[in-house]
Chain A
Amino acid sequence: MAPRAKLFIPLVLFAVLALFLLRGLELDPKDLPSALIDQPLPQFELPSLGTQSLVSRDQVIGEVALFNIWATWCVSCRVEHPYLHQLAERGVPIYGINYKDDDSDALRWLEELGNPYRLNIVDAEGELGLDLGVYGAPETYLVDAGGVIRYRHVGVVGERVWQNILQPLYQELLAESAP
């Protein structure tokens, strides 16, 4: 090899590395595919917040909906809350799963900040959360009309997440379920 050509070796190595890094940007290391994607929503029978009745899986499925894990101890949930109102106003059905929380705190929160949820499932012990494999609040699951979990978002749902990820899927699922 000519002596000058040898000096290009570092450049070539770097170019290869840069290509890998570029590819790496498209991959998400945290994107651990949830075991529940494309699986039915787990069975449950839990109290409904603010009422004396129990609510079970069959009562909340039947249309494309969001299931939102929230709690009063979760600061990000407070950040997320106004956006959930917007979604509810646009007619997106949202069910709340009040996760490891105190009932009276949760009711006060809804009174103060408003209630965007169809109803709230009280998961005080976190059993449903365990079945779903919840990391922490907030988390949002997109469930189709057949009660199958189609997507899981970890973290706050805001304009960007909704526009880029959830809404396209939501529309698709709506179209799927329309007769």
Chain B
Amino acid sequence: MIPEVGHFALITAMCLAVILAVLPMWGAWTRNTVAMGLAPSLAIGLLVFVGISFACLTTSFLQDDFSVKVVASNSNSLLPPMYKFSAVWGNHEGSLLLWVLILSLWTAAVALLSPQLPLQVLSRVLSVMGVIGVGFLSFSLFTSNPFERLLPGAPLDGSDLNPLLQDPGLIIHPPLLYMGYVGFSVAFAFAIAALLGGRLDASWARWSRPWTNVAWAFLSLGIMLGSWWAYYELGWGGWWFWDPVENASFMPWLAGTALIHSLAATEKRGLFKSWTVLLAIFTFSLSLLGTFIVRSGVLTSVHAFATDPARGLFILMFLALVVGGSLTLYALRAPAVSSRVSFAWVSRESLLLFNNVVFLAATLTVLFGTLFPLVMDALGQGKYSVGPPYFNAVFVPLMALLATFMGLGPVSRFKSDSVSRWRKELLIPGLVAVVCGLSLPLLGAEYNLWVALAALLSAWLVLGLGRDAWYRVRGAASLSRGLRRLTPSYCGMLLAHLGFAACVLGVVATSQYSVERDLKMSPGDTESLAGYTFEFIELVPVRGPNFVADEARIRITRDGAPVTVLAPQKRRYLASGSMMTEAAIDPGLFRDLYVAMGEPIGSEGAWAIRLHYKPMVRWMWLGAILMGLGGFSTALDKRYRRQRQPALESAPGAVHGT
């Protein structure tokens, strides 16, 4: 009964989405206030019904209703309840429903939190989101119905959730990731609404900025969690693989980073208007492309969903419709003449432009590398795979170039600045950064030029930011009063840029200084790595709720002083029989110790054991968390809230001045 209620709610949601896609749009066209005024209620109705549907599917999972096909193939009565819950999105059908739920969440949020928007704009924005909703709801209903039953012949027990997904990180990774890349639909909807309305001014940039920043923040956190999960769950200590599915989430992030900077220029100075609109379309298109890549099976990947050509064709048609349609609209409606706002070459505008060029180049690099195998196959040139060497070769110089100019960004001025002023402001930070770059690698095992470069660039960013923040704070009566002068959007920028610096340092240090050894160890054996001694004490059998495991106890000491005892496991999951490596990690701010079990060797209890020493690996995730916090912080800025009061008093349809 519950699955049928869920299915029915989903159909109702589909009907509401169709009305939302058509009626307010028509209302905005004919200036029919009644039709336009329906948009917010429809958006909320959409959320309610998708929410009911999602709750029904979740209930089916929690109640072990194996007559529902997705439950039978992705859950098991022995599965811990927490994972029964996350199993809802551990499969194609359920995760698509999560996609739709999050889309309706964003739609309802726009409806509820935008009283300052002119009604015409609001109704167009919500309508565009309704169109996207129709696409994904019909995708769900027609090709991937999560409520399909196995009647008669329901199995007694389910075939279990993929053990790789039975992990706390994977409970929140997909929702955060989807919050991010579905969130870019809001920026997209605002861009389309602006094109439809024919008014590409600073106001649309100001309206869409907080939404874009928040979506970007979610995406940063989502990607970070994915990387962290890969690190400890896949058992070989890697944290980024340039896998097509990872790239699918990374491309919208790169384009989104360009977009948030370009939006800043558009809002503050009315510059790059057409470009920003194009970027908003581009960013969301990459989100859709990502969905296509993950769910169509056109590319091989470790985490692609079970694939089906019918599904691929459906998303491709939808992609063609949405992206083709919006690019056509862009070609017809975007202002063809460049704006008359001018800026000097030495100014914040040109630095923002530089940021955009770098991030666009990075996005296209990843896009090209991801699709290259597909393109070659389609042209009959054979099977190819593009690996990390290509991506690293392009990415490292791009990021180094970016960091160099990024240090100038926050201290630079709009319109026109002077090199001599930059020199005056940044001479000391620059010199200190050089000293840091030269000296910090001395703390590592050996002197390394890459680490020196990373230390130099990170110090350059951090010191420049520190100096700028200090200039803003000083001169106030007290430090706390001075800190209060910093606006949330300034703090957000500060956090995000600091996060980037931490990321750069972490990525480079861990890539250059990591040490790993694959060893054959028996209980009683002792090995040493990077100054630590690893002693294999014993091997014990362990029983978990739905698995049995061999657990190795490994005592780690340094110069005789105990550090910790790690207990990696080799698990066999009962329902599926699949083997899983559960790595054990001793985390630290400056180094991780990581032990994973391979296969048993021989019959005398020896195992292949992999030991890792990973310096500063946490810094990149900390950096990503800072970026995420930065993104959220910008949205708290008063200037997005302040407009609300006058907006309430003004007549609907009035356009606010800047």
Q: Does B302 contact A (CB under 8 A)?
A: no
Bound Cα distance from A3 to B336, whole angstroms: 6
> Which of A10, A22, A24, A75 is the most central at the interface, judged by chain B CB atoms within 10 Å of its CB?
A24
A99 shortest CB reach to chain B, Å: 12
Task: Kindly state whether residue B278 has any CB partner on chain A within 8 Å.
Answer: yes
Chain B CB within 8 A of A18 CB: yes
User: Are the C-beta atoms of A25 and B324 separated by less than 8 Å?
Assistant: no
**In the complex the two chains form, is A24's CB within 8 Å of B298's CB?**
yes
Residue ID in chain A nearest B301 by CB atoms? A29
B97-133 contact mask (Cβ, 8 Å, vs A): 1 or 0 = 0000000000000000000000000000000000000
B328 touches A25 (CB 8 A): no
- Residue B297, interface by CB 8 Å: yes
Q: State whether the Cβ of B234 lies closer than 8 Å to any Cβ in chain A.
A: no
Interface string of B309-344 (1 = CB under 8 A from A): 100110010011001100110111010110000000
Chain A interface: which of B251-259, B375-383, B560-568, B581-589? B375-383
Give Cα A76–Cα B298 distance, bound, in whole angstroms: 24
A residues 17-47 touching B (CB-CB < 8 Å):
17-18, 20-30, 32
Would you call A74 and B312 a contact (CB within 8 A)? no
In the complex the two chains form, is A8's CB within 8 Å of B377's CB?
no
B577–A74 CB distance below 8 A: yes
B378 CB contacts on chain A under 8 angstroms: 20, 23-24, 27
Q: With both chains docked as a complex, state the minimum distance between the C-beta of A23 and any C-beta of chain B, in angstroms.
A: 4
Q: What residues on B are CB-neighbors of A8 within 8 Å?
A: 331
Residues of A contacting B327 with CB < 8 Å? 10-11, 14
Q: How far is the CA of A22 from the CA of B320 in the complex (A)?
A: 10
Using known A-B contacts A11-B324, A25-B309, A30-B300, determine if residue A20 contacts B375 with beta carbons closer than 8 Å.
Answer: yes
Beta-carbon contact of A25 and B298 below 8 Å? yes
Of chain A, the residue at the smallest CB distance from B338 is A3
| Distance A23 CA – B374 CA, assembled complex (angstroms) | 9
Task: Please measure, in the bound complex, the distance between the C-alpha atom of A26 and the C-alpha atom of B378, giving whole angstroms.
Answer: 9
Given contacts A24-B298, A29-B373, A30-B300, contact A18 B577 (CB under 8 A): no
Contact call B159/A25, Cβ cutoff below 8 A = no
Give every chain B residue within 8 A of A7 (Cβ-Cβ): 274, 330-332, 334, 336
Residue ID in chain B nearest A3 by CB atoms: B336
A4 beta carbon closer than 8 Å to chain B: yes
Q: Taking CB as reference atom, which chain B residue is nearest A19?
A: B378
Minimum distance in angstroms from A133 CB to a CB of chain B: 17
CA distance A29 to B377 in the complex (A): 9
Shortest beta-carbon distance from B448 to chain A in Å? 38
Q: Can you name the residue of chain B whose Cβ is closest to the Cβ of A27?
A: B377
Chain B positions 54-98 with a Cβ under 8 Å from a chain A Cβ: none
Query: Taking the complex as formed, is A73 at the interface, i.e. its CB lies under 8 A from any CB of chain B?
Result: yes
Distance (Å) between the CB of B647 and the closest chain A CB? Answer: 32
- Docked Cα-Cα span, A25 to B332, in Å, equals 31
User: Taking the complex as formed, is B576 at the interface, i.e. its CB lies under 8 A from any CB of chain A?
Assistant: yes
Which A residues are CB-close (under 8 A) to B218? none
From B278, B292, B316, B320, give the contact of A10 (CB < 8 A): B278
- Give the distance to chain B from A15, nearest Cβ to Cβ, in Å: 7
CB distance from B581 to the nearest CB of A (A): 17
Q: Within the assembled complex, what's the spacing in Å between the Cα atoms of A101 and B296?
A: 34
A3 cross-chain contacts in B, Cβ below 8 A = 336-337
Docked CA distance A3–B337 (Å): 7
- Nearest CB of B to A29, in Å: 4
Bound Cα distance from A76 to B328, whole angstroms? 47
**Residue among A14, A24, A27 making CB contact with B324, cutoff 8 Å:** A14
**Is the pair B300, A25 in contact by a Cβ cutoff of 8 Å?**
no
Write the nearest CB–CB distance from A34 to chain B, whole angstroms.
14
Give Cα A24–Cα B577 distance, bound, in whole angstroms.
Answer: 34
Contacts of A4 in B (CB 8 A): 331, 336
Min CB gap A16→B, angstroms: 10
Of listed A7, A25, A32, A75, residue having the most chain B CB within 10 A: A25
Per-position 1/0 for B563-580, Cβ under 8 A of A: 000000000000111000
A75 touches B297 (CB 8 A): no
Known contacts: A3-B337, A21-B292. The answer to whether A27 contacts B577 by CB under 8 A is no
Give the complex CA separation of A24 and B609 in angstroms: 40
User: A18 touching B334 by the CB < 8 A rule?
Assistant: no
Are A18's CB and B331's CB within 8 A?
A: no
Find the B residue at minimum CB distance from A21.
B316
Given A10-B278, A21-B292: A75 touches B576 (CB 8 Å cut-off)? yes
From B300, B319, B576, contact of A18 by CB (8 A)? B319
What is the CB-to-nearest-CB distance from B194 to chain A, in angstroms, rounded to a whole number? Answer: 15
**Which residues of chain A come closer than 8 Å to B320, judged between CB atoms?**
18
With A10-B278, A20-B378: A75-B324 Cβ-Cβ less than 8 Å: no
Contact of A11 among B292, B299, B316, B331 (CB under 8 A): B331
Residues of A within 8 A of B196 (CB): none
Is the CB of B483 closer than 8 A to any CB of chain A? no
Say yes or no for B371: interface residue by CB 8 A criterion: yes
Q: Which residues of B contact A29 (CB under 8 A)?
A: 297-300, 373-374, 377, 383
Interface string of B9-33 (1 = CB under 8 A from A): 0000000000000000000000000
Residue of B160, B278, B374 with highest tally of chain A CB at under 10 A: B374
A22 touches B377 (CB 8 A): no
Q: Which residues of B contact A11 (CB under 8 A)?
A: 324, 327-328, 330-331
13 inter-chain pairs at a CB distance below 8 angstroms, sorted by A residue, are A10-B278, A10-B327, A11-B328, A14-B323, A15-B324, A17-B371, A20-B374, A21-B298, A21-B374, A25-B296, A25-B312, A25-B313, A75-B160
In addition to A11-B328, A21-B298, A25-B316, 12 A-B residue pairs with Cβ atoms within 8 Å of each other are A7-B274, A7-B331, A7-B336, A10-B282, A18-B319, A24-B377, A25-B296, A27-B377, A29-B298, A29-B299, A29-B377, A75-B160
- Across the A-B interface, give the 10 residue pairs with the lowest CB-CB distance, nearest first: A3-B336, A73-B577, A24-B298, A11-B327, A23-B378, A7-B331, A29-B300, A8-B331, A24-B374, A75-B159
